[in-house]
Amino acid sequence: MDGHGYLNLETLWFALIGVMWVGYFFLEGFDFGVGVLLPFLGRDDTDRRVLINTIGPVWDGNEVWLIVAGGATFAAFPEWYATLFSGFYLALFLILAALIFRGVAFEFRGKDRSPKWRAWWDRAIFWGSAIPALLWGVAFANILRGVPIDANHEWVGSFFDLLNPYALLGGLTSFLLFTLHGGVFLTLRTEGELRDRARSVARMLALPAAAAVLAFLAWTFFGIRESNGVKPGGTSLLAIVAVVAAMWLVRRRVDRWAFVATGLSIVLIMATIFMDLYPRVMPSSLGSANDLTVWNASSAHYTLKVMTIVALIFTPLVLAYQGWTYWVFRKRVRREDVGDGQPTETPA
C-alpha cells in the first residue's frame, strides 16, 4: 500500500460487493428453497400455487441484488470480472439459463390450466432453483480455493478444474442450506397441512445442512491458505453456532427465530468467504504472485468515487422500496386465496 486515499475506496467497494452477495443469497436463498421443495410439498395444484405465491411478489426483486452485484464488479473491478467470467463461463451460463427458465415458468405456468402444461413448468421451477443453489456454492468455493490464473491474470484451466472435492462440498452446502432456508420460510408464509409438511421437511434437512456447513467451514479454516498471515475464524464459529441454533429452533417449532438463524448462517458463511479472500478478489492456484487483488484489479479512483456517490443516493431508495414490498405481502398465503386445486383442460 502506498497510502493513497483511493485504496480506501477499493476496500470499500470490495466490502460493498460482499454485502450485495450476502443480500442476494439471504433473499434468493429461500426462493431457491421454495422452488426445490415445490414437487415434494405440493400434493395438488392448489398446494403448488400456494407455494409459488409465497415468493411470487418478491422473487424478481430479490434477483436485483444479483444484477447489482454483477454490475458493481464490472465497474469497480473489471479485471476480476473479466477473469471470473472467462473461467466460470460454462457454470455461469448454466446458472443464467436456469434463472431464465425459472422466471419464465413463474409467468407462463398459469397461462393454461392443463395439468401437463403446469407440470412441465413446475419441473422448470424445480431445476431453475436447484441448479443455481448448487452451482453458486461450487463457484464461490472455487474462488476462495484458488483457480489457475497465469501471470497475465488470464484463466488457463478448464471447466473440470472447478469440479474438485472442496468446491463440490461447497455446492452441497449451499444447496442444503438454501433448501432448509426455504422450508423454514414456508412455515412463516403458509398454514394448515402445508405448513406442517414444511416443518417436517425442515426438520429432516436441519441435520444434513448443519453437518455440511460444519464440514465446509472446517475445511475452509484448515485447508485454505492464509491471507496476509491472518485466518479469521470468528465468523466461521458464529456460522456454526447459527446453523446449530437453527436445527434446534426448527425442532422446537420456533419458526421466526429459525428463519433468522438460517439466514444468519448464510450471512456469516459469505462473510467468512469474503474475509478470507481479502485483499485478494481471486486467488491463483499457480502462485500468490498471480493473485488478483483489490489493488491490481480495480478501476480508476474517479470511477470508484462516482460509483460511491451514486450508491449513497440510490441504495437507501432501493432498500426502502424492497422493505415496503415485503411489508405489503407479509401475510400467509392460504388455499382459499388461490382456488380449489382442481385444474381442468382448457376448452378447445
Percentage of the chain with pLDDT > 90? 59
Going by the DSSP 8-state scheme, the letter that residue 282 receives in this structure is E
> What digits encode the pLDDT tens for the residues 38-63?
999 988 999 999 999 999 888 888 88
Phi, psi of 333 (to 5 degrees): -100, 125
Q: Which residue has the cell 458464529?
A: 238
For 166, the grid coordinates are 472442496
Q: How far is the C-alpha of 22 from the C-alpha of 25, rounded, in Å? A: 5
Q: What pLDDT does 232 receive? A: 58
Phi, psi of 110 (to 5 degrees): -85, 5
Q: How far is the C-alpha of 251 from the C-alpha of 12, rounded, in Å? A: 40
Contacts of 9 (CB under 8 A, 6+ apart): 301, 304, 305, 308
Is 23's pLDDT higher than 80? yes
Nearest to 62 by CA among 97, 26, 108: 26
Q: How far is the C-alpha of 303 from the C-alpha of 301, rounded, in Å? A: 5
The 3-state DSSP class for residue 293 equals: strand
Rounded to the nearest angstrom, the gap between the alpha carbon of residue 327 and the centroid of all alpha carbons in its chain is 22
> What digits encode the pLDDT tens for the residues 98-150?
999 999 999 899 888 888 999 999 999 999 999 999 999 999 999 998 899 98
Contacts of 32 (CB under 8 A, 6+ apart): 129, 130, 132, 133, 178, 179, 182
Q: How far is the C-alpha of 62 from the C-alpha of 29, rounded, in Å? A: 9
Percentage of the chain with pLDDT > 70? 92
Is 11's pLDDT higher than 50? yes
Q: How far is the C-alpha of 36 from the C-alpha of 130, rounded, in Å? A: 6
Q: What pLDDT does 224 receive? A: 67
Q: How far is the C-alpha of 178 from the C-alpha of 263, rounded, in Å? A: 9
> What digits encode the pLDDT tens for the residues 189-210?
999 999 999 999 999 999 999 9
pTM score, two decimals? 0.90
CB 330 within 8 A of CB 189: no
Mean pLDDT on 158-166: 87
For 331, the grid coordinates are 401475510
The pairs formed by 104-112 with CB atoms below 8 angstroms and a separation of 24 or more are 106/52, 106/56, 106/59, 109/52, 112/346
For 324, the grid coordinates are 415496503
Boundaries of every domain in the chain: 25-335
Nearest to 119 by CA among 129, 130, 108: 108
> Which has more confidence, 227 or 212?
212
Amino acid at 280: R
CB 147 within 8 A of CB 285: yes
Q: What pLDDT does 207 receive? A: 95
For 159, the grid coordinates are 471447466
Is 34's pLDDT higher than 50? yes
Question: Which residues face 149 on adjacent strands?
Answer: 155
Q: How far is the C-alpha of 189 from the C-alpha of 112, rounded, in Å? A: 26
Mean pLDDT on 304-312: 91
Contacts of 344 (CB under 8 A, 6+ apart): 113
Which range is most confident: 23-37, 80-94, 221-235? 23-37
Q: What pLDDT does 339 receive? A: 64
Amino acid at 37: L
> Which has more confidence, 286 or 100?
100
Q: How far is the C-alpha of 251 from the C-alpha of 245, rounded, in Å? A: 10
Q: What pLDDT does 113 receive? A: 86
